[in-house]
Structure 1
């Protein structure tokens, strides 16, 4: 990889960058994050949040529009055009939250309904809480603040600064709302006029990534017979589906660990996790279920196709069946998205790394391996060179109790966002003050 410091800022570019950074206002960012977090936006129902953000960008001086996909949801697309001869740079983040924010989340989201899981905002000093306040809404608010700072600074850009926020960024599928999820929103924008030369997606973790994994969803169904708790064990006409499922789960967990090791390459370690087990009726515990389902997500390296991962999973199932001929099971792949990669020598990756170095004051190191999936994979697959830039996550030192584990992704310490905003601002000035031919276009 070439030295990312080979194309330093000119004094004029440094001055423009400092003008933009001087306009980035942590207090305004904090208030915007609070206001946005207070607008509930589960996958497939982001209309109110998206319309709110479209209005904010319009008032900041961008040509801004809400792009509906249905009565309940849609996306945001805004642009500030340059003087010409430059590139089109997209700053992007999803806008939907991963949970519903109601009783249907429980008990699956954990026993404690902390402020980080509530579909309403709560502020303590520089901390903003609420469902999705850190992911995705801190990203949306930060990008809006960067865009506002660019407009307020009055810097002259050659290229066009495009801002995009889309529903469906969460790795979910919501049948009740037109099967929203699985990057459907960013596909909608790209198919309807959003055509950037480069993109930056803001997501957690303080690194620059040039690639992200896809994912494969699998369902294993362990088969038995419908039973009754009053009959003794050993009857030839009854087979449990629940007890054999334990053997499947144990074997699958080990396979997922081995799979991740075997399929690691580039910046990606494609972890997989068993997400849930389902079977029977909660109101009929006297009747053992005839089917127990096991659900898992297997991440997919950009150099491995979903079809290849499906074949690897099929080989695991075949081996399990050979070792356990007494267990009757079936399986299917129920969802998939391929990973995406950008040449690490592409302009936008190099520019993002220069921005990281500029703000951090040190050489860019090798980042931690990545397993998280985002819309960045879809952008890359559809031909948009994309850099992922983030901030330290999760935030530490919260004055309010928050849920263990992933929780509501709903606790943000706003000062943590400012260095990331400066890194993105660097790439904006670096990219949009040069003619296209200097960027390899």
Structure 2
């Protein structure tokens, strides 16, 4: 094990290179590059350019014309573990959606207001990306040689989105596809920390989801022949009422670590708006059901099928309509137990940096930690953003009644991003100066620093 004085000196050397103004500019630059789902390549190119200028190895990962992951690697001597810092570049919105508030927190243009940055993506999760990248730049600039590897995975396609019906193309291909591509194309690690907006709390568990599509189909006819009995929208309202009633019970029954398993009637389509003189021949309902750790998508599907079967069994009007139903998107939740090394390492890095014990949370939004855990890479969430300007002193994310302010949109504390960068530096040094033998990890010693497990950098990859 490395001498504690030497370890402290290594950290001090790297921490000195953290620069608040450079970090702020980096965060603003990332926000200023629009990167909605399906169009992340410009943001990836910017990050790859920074990797190259810092002397950080690049693993090329372009997987669609307008999409790429930005994978950077700092190689160690070969005896230590590989630590991944993972975060997504795609943003929750494009920024020009109808009815979206016309405020800086929803626009891909950074606005600095005192100690806060506003702009689309800074909360989810370009604030953490800035902290990851700057931490890696500081380590590389310090000349510190690690035993293990640091892998920075800035990925595309995390946002909860799916192609369905008329909504086709890259803009709708999300749901963890970037991290899946990364870890099945060479960007693998022993441990991972994902930078979702946890407000510098250790998010030990997160949720997933099941998306269900339910369609009722009737007969085409003029409204002069229509009644509530043969109207697909009117009949869908019966199903909606039954699902909401079931959802209220499901939410409590399936709660885990304080996370409620919300059921949301998310979208509905029916009829022809340009032909209101026709009884709606079809109506489609879309349902989001939160899936918590330890639960399976088929459990949700079977419960929804049972609810609808009960409603139809008692209603001849529903029985006369054709019903089509399917699950069209799902992601699993995951949990990182306290005995995992990465859990303890993040807790220690936070305590070492802030002087306080880290708060442990569980939040039911989806995260690429689920994809990583499913592929055998222990992962949890610890992010720079997440604390809102409206929070009182000492408040942290975890209370779903306070964790989002729709009026302000996305924003992040500059001080939190700076402090999280320091936490990441301490974490990297603490983890990557250990040997695999110390940590009980399998695998033979690599032949040397110049022997790479990953694909070599190539000149023709755009930067």
TM-score range normalised by the length of the shorter chain: 0.7 to 0.9
1:141-182, CA deviations, whole angstroms, 9 ceiling, x for partnerless residues? 121111112122332311111111111111112521286212
Using the alignment, how far apart are the partners of 1:273 and 1:38 within structure 2?
32
Q: Who is 1:244 aligned against? A: 235
Quote the RMSD (CA, aligned, Å).
2.7
Distance 1:300 1:321, change over 3 A: same
Using the alignment, how far apart are the partners of 1:312 and 1:363 within structure 2?
41
The match for 2:370 among 372, 377, 381 is: 377
1:325-349, CA deviations, whole angstroms, 9 ceiling, x for partnerless residues? 5334442111122233344311111
Q: Who is 1:430 aligned against? A: 430
- 2:353 and 2:422 in contact (8 A); partners too: yes
1:204-225, CA deviations, whole angstroms, 9 ceiling, x for partnerless residues? 1232133332221101223444
Using the alignment, how far apart are the partners of 1:11 and 1:197 within structure 2?
26
- 1:90 and 1:198 in contact (8 A); partners too: yes
The match for 2:13 among 19, 30, 45 is: 19
Using the alignment, how far apart are the partners of 1:409 and 1:384 within structure 2?
32
1:125-151, CA deviations, whole angstroms, 9 ceiling, x for partnerless residues? 443333222212212112111111212
TM-score (norm 2): 0.83
The match for 1:184 among 177, 180, 186 is: 177
Q: Who is 1:336 aligned against? A: 330
Q: Who is 1:410 aligned against? A: 410
241-250 vs 48-57, which deviates more? 241-250
The match for 2:98 among 106, 118, 126 is: 106
> What is the Cα deviation at residue 246 of structure 1?
2.8
1:305-363, CA deviations, whole angstroms, 9 ceiling, x for partnerless residues? 21222222222222333454533444211112223334431111111122233344334
- 2:122 and 2:412 in contact (8 A); partners too: yes
Q: Who is 1:120 aligned against? A: 109
> What is the Cα deviation at residue 436 of structure 1?
1.1
Matches within 5 A, 1:111-190: 112-174=101-163, 175-177=168-170, 180-190=173-183
The match for 1:299 among 284, 290, 298 is: 290
Q: Who is 1:87 aligned against? A: 81
Distance 1:433 1:54, change over 3 A: same
Using the alignment, how far apart are the partners of 2:261 and 2:267 within structure 1?
19
Q: Who is 1:389 aligned against? A: 382
Q: For residue 159 of structure 2, give the secondary structure of its aligned residue in structure 1.
A: coil
Using the alignment, how far apart are the partners of 1:234 and 1:199 within structure 2?
57
> What is the Cα deviation at residue 203 of structure 1?
0.8
Using the alignment, how far apart are the partners of 2:232 and 2:287 within structure 1?
18
Matched, 1:71 2:65: yes
Aligned residues: 421
Distance 1:114 1:228, change over 3 A: farther
> What is the Cα deviation at residue 26 of structure 1?
2.2
Using the alignment, how far apart are the partners of 1:128 and 1:377 within structure 2?
29
Matched, 1:254 2:245: yes
74-83 vs 202-211, which deviates more? 202-211
- 1:213 and 1:302 in contact (8 A); partners too: yes
Using the alignment, how far apart are the partners of 1:74 and 1:24 within structure 2?
27
Distance 1:321 1:17, change over 3 A: farther
Distance 1:365 1:200, change over 3 A: closer
264-273 vs 83-92, which deviates more? 264-273
- 1:160 and 1:432 in contact (8 A); partners too: yes
The match for 2:261 among 261, 270, 290 is: 270
Detail structure 1 runs of 4+ shifted over 6 Å in the superposition: none
- 1:88 and 1:159 in contact (8 A); partners too: yes
Using the alignment, how far apart are the partners of 1:433 and 1:37 within structure 2?
33
> What is the Cα deviation at residue 251 of structure 1?
2.6
Using the alignment, how far apart are the partners of 2:204 and 2:183 within structure 1?
19
Distance 1:422 1:251, change over 3 A: farther
Query: Unpaired segments of 5 or more residues in structure 2?
Result: 392-403, 442-463
Q: Who is 2:444 aligned against? A: none
TM-score (norm 1): 0.87
Q: For residue 134 of structure 1, give the secondary structure of its aligned residue in structure 2.
A: helix
413-422 vs 174-183, which deviates more? 174-183
Using the alignment, how far apart are the partners of 1:409 and 1:20 within structure 2?
34
